Amino acid sequence: MEHIIIGTAGHIDHGKTALIRALTGRETDTHKEEIKRGITIDLGFTYFDLPGGMRAGIIDVPGHEKFLPNMLAGVCGMDLVLLTVALDEGIMPQTREHLDILEQLGITNGIIVLTKLDMVEPEWADMMEEEITQELSGRVFASWPRVKVSAIKGDGIEELKALLVTKASAATHNREIGGHFRIPVDRLFTVKGFGTVVAGTLLEGTIGVNQEVMLYPTKLITKVRSLQTHGDDIEMAYAGQRAAVLLQGVAKEDVKRGMVLAYPESMTPSNRLDVVMSLSADCKRVVKNQSRVHLHIGTDEVIARVVLLDKNELTAGEEGFAQLICEREVCVKRNDKFVIRFLSPLETLGGGVVLQIDARKHKRMDEAVLSALRQRRDGKQEELFFSTLESSPKSPLSLDKLLAQTQMDEAELKEIAETVEAEERCFVLHGRKKDFYWSFTDADAMWMSIRKFLADYHEKNPYKRGITKTGFKSGLFKSFDIAALEPYMTYLTESGKVMEEGDCVWLLDHEPRQDETYEAVAKAVTAKASEAGFALYDYSELKLAEPEELDDIVEDLVRKKEIVRIHDTTVTTPELAEQMKEKVLTYFESNEILSFASLRDLLDVSRKAAKPLMAYLDECKITQWCGKETERKQMKSV
574-626 residue pLDDT tens: 999 999 999 999 999 999 999 999 999 999 999 888 999 999 999 999 999 88
Confidence check: pLDDT of 365 > 90: yes
Confidence check: pLDDT of 37 > 70: no
| Residue 425 within any structural domain of the chain | no
Q: pTM surpassing 0.75?
A: no
318 and 186 part of one domain = no
CATH number reported for the structural domain that contains residue 133 in this entry: 3.40.50.300
35 and 166 part of one domain = yes
**What is the number of domains present in the chain?**
4
E strands present in 13-157: 44-49, 55-60, 80-86, 110-115, 146-148
| Residue 549 within any structural domain of the chain | yes
223 and 315 part of one domain = no
CA distance 344 to 158: 43
Confidence check: pLDDT of 174 > 70: no
| Residue 383 within any structural domain of the chain | no
Q: In terms of residue numbers, what domain contains 27?
A: 3-171
For 340-367, letters b (16+ CB in 10 Å) and e give bbbeeeebbbbbbbbbbbbbeebebeee
SS3 (DSSP) at 414: helix
117 and 191 part of one domain = no
- Domain-ending residue, one of 369, 403, 423: 369
Paired strand residues for 190: 196
118 and 186 part of one domain = no
119 and 71 part of one domain = yes
Mean pLDDT calculated for residue range 48-52: 84
CA distance 112 to 66: 23
257 and 144 part of one domain = no
The answer for residues whose C-beta is within 8 angstroms of residue 184's C-beta and 6 or more apart is 76, 77, 200, 201, 203, 258, 259, 260, 298, 299, 300
8 and 149 part of one domain = yes
13 and 145 part of one domain = yes
| Residue 206 within any structural domain of the chain | yes
SS3 (DSSP) at 629: coil
285 and 251 part of one domain = no
Q: What is the pLDDT of residue 388?
A: 86
Mean pLDDT calculated for residue range 182-196: 90
165 and 274 part of one domain = no
Query: According to the per-residue pLDDT averaged within each range, which of 12-26, 97-111, 286-300, 358-372 is highest?
Result: 286-300
Q: If pLDDT is split at 50, 70 and 90, which confidence band does 12 have?
A: confident
| Residue 419 within any structural domain of the chain | no
User: What are 450-498's pLDDT values in tens digits?
Assistant: 999 999 999 999 999 999 999 998 888 888 888 899 999 999 999 999 9
